[in-house]
Amino acid sequence: MKVLLIGGGGREHAIAASLVRSKHVDRLYCAPGNAGIAKIAECVPISVMEFDKLIDFAKSHAIDLAVCSQDDPLCAGIVDAFEAAGLKIFGTRKNAAIIEGSKAFSKQLMKKYGIPTAAYEIFTDADSAEEYLKTKASFPIVLKADGLALGKGVLICKDLDEALDGVKEIMLDKKFGSAGNELVIEEFMTGREVSALAFVDGKHYKLMASSQDHKRAGDGDTGLNTGGMGTFSPSPFFTPEIQKVCDETIFQPTVDAMAKEGRPFTGVLYFGLMLTEKGPKVVEYNTRFGDPETQVVLPRMESDIIEVMEACMNGTLDKIDLKFADNAAVCVVCASGGYPVAYEKGKIIHGLEKLEGQGDIQVYHAGTKFDENGNIVTSGGRVLGVTALGPDLKAARAKAYEAVKEISFDKMFYRHDIGKAIDEA
């Protein structure tokens, strides 16, 4: 098969590595890709939102399957566009991708079908949101811009002043653009977070190995929310008992609810869960693989990814035995100083060659590119994800941190406590 992967982050590097491992893939293209993906695929300079150009490329290169796992193109209908052009694509159609694209939609879905989540109210104007905060709210409280905001449209506000500032930022100043036309205000939950990713075929789902992300920029969960600073898999807190509760109260009910709504979900459904004292609840849904969850989940997957994707598209996922290795993985993200706010680009990355060819260490590139002299330089906030595999979480973590020491670029930073929770398990 000839496959076209659409995207160019650390998640896509991990997906590309799985695709290359598949016995069905002869040739892999990636649009736009990055400097790391370029080692295993042919990168094509087309951006993820240029649907017409991507479709032309797929047709002219006789692509058998396209794969997209990024929120913006999925929510904008890339799957529908490819299908309308008669092309095969793995991903979620627009009418189902709304489960990530609109937090108001997902909250209403959960309420309608009794899926456990934080209590909430939805507002379409700032005055009523402010009135609610002044008269009915208890603090801390969580404000969420309705639409896509690069994972940054969620504000946790400790008191009324912070919450009023938040309403202004999201709804009046439009810090996240039109994503802030509607606002979800929801109850603050406490508990451990787990990322549960599932392949879904419209009716059935198969759960991948669990993982946990670290969303704040700084050690000890301090600083701003980011796209994710590191992950580990499996989560020792996601026990078989908890999984059973989630199967019955969250996973299958969500897949069934989407089908009942006439929005059958096909692709990868990401359940962001909080294990609260009152049981597991949904924090968010994403319509795609997580980043950097994918960088610890896919290296552990033993099944052939093409066979699983085809089963999702054919509605035969129930016939698949989805297999993961009985090991563990830890990924530490190396980021540019100043991320997630302002940071410089174009810094030469040193030390990558020292980590090449080690089977249990994978350096997934996120924001990297080649400069005019052929050096690999930084081109984004999250630059690399260094993943190590080991027989257990502690071994994987030690190896990941040893590997990170080999890498350097000007103003690089990373969290030192990825996987610290393992010690409490």
Question: Shortest Cβ distance from residue 304 to ligand AMP (Å)?
Answer: 30
234 binding ligand GLY? (CB under 6 A): no
Q: Under rule CB under 6 A, which residues in 37-66 are in contact with ligand AMP?
A: none
Q: Which of ligand AMP, ligand GLY, none does residue 293 bind to, with CB < 5 to 8 Å depending on kind?
A: ligand GLY
**β-strand 42-43 against 27-32: which pairing, if any?**
parallel
C-beta nearest to ligand AMP: residue? 284
**Rounded CA gap, 95 and 62, in Å?**
27
228 binding ligand GLY? (CB under 6 A): yes
Q: Which region among 42-50, 245-253, 283-291, 309-317 touches ligand GLY (by CB under 6 A)?
A: 283-291
Contacts 24+ apart (CB under 8 A), 134-141: 134/160, 137/163, 137/185, 139/163, 139/188, 140/188, 141/185, 141/186, 141/187, 141/188
286 binding ligand GLY? (CB under 6 A): yes
* Cβ closest to ligand AMP, residue 20 vs residue 156: 156
* Site map 188..207 versus ligand AMP, x via CB under 6 A: xx---x--------------
291 binding ligand GLY? (CB under 6 A): yes
182 binding ligand AMP? (CB under 6 A): no
* Cβ closest to ligand AMP, residue 172 vs residue 224: 224
Within 8 A by CB and 6+ apart from 146, the residues are 102, 103, 104, 122, 179, 180, 181, 182, 183, 184
Q: In Å, how far are 26, 90, 195, 226, 229 from 216, measured between CA atoms?
A: 39, 31, 15, 6, 7
Q: In Å, how far are 16, 54, 72, 136 from 30, measured between CA atoms?
A: 8, 10, 17, 50
* Site map 132..171 versus ligand AMP, x via CB under 6 A: ----------x--------x--x-x---------------
310 binding ligand GLY? (CB under 6 A): no
State the residues that interact with ligand AMP by CB under 6 A.
118, 142, 151, 154, 156, 186-189, 193, 215, 225, 272, 283-284
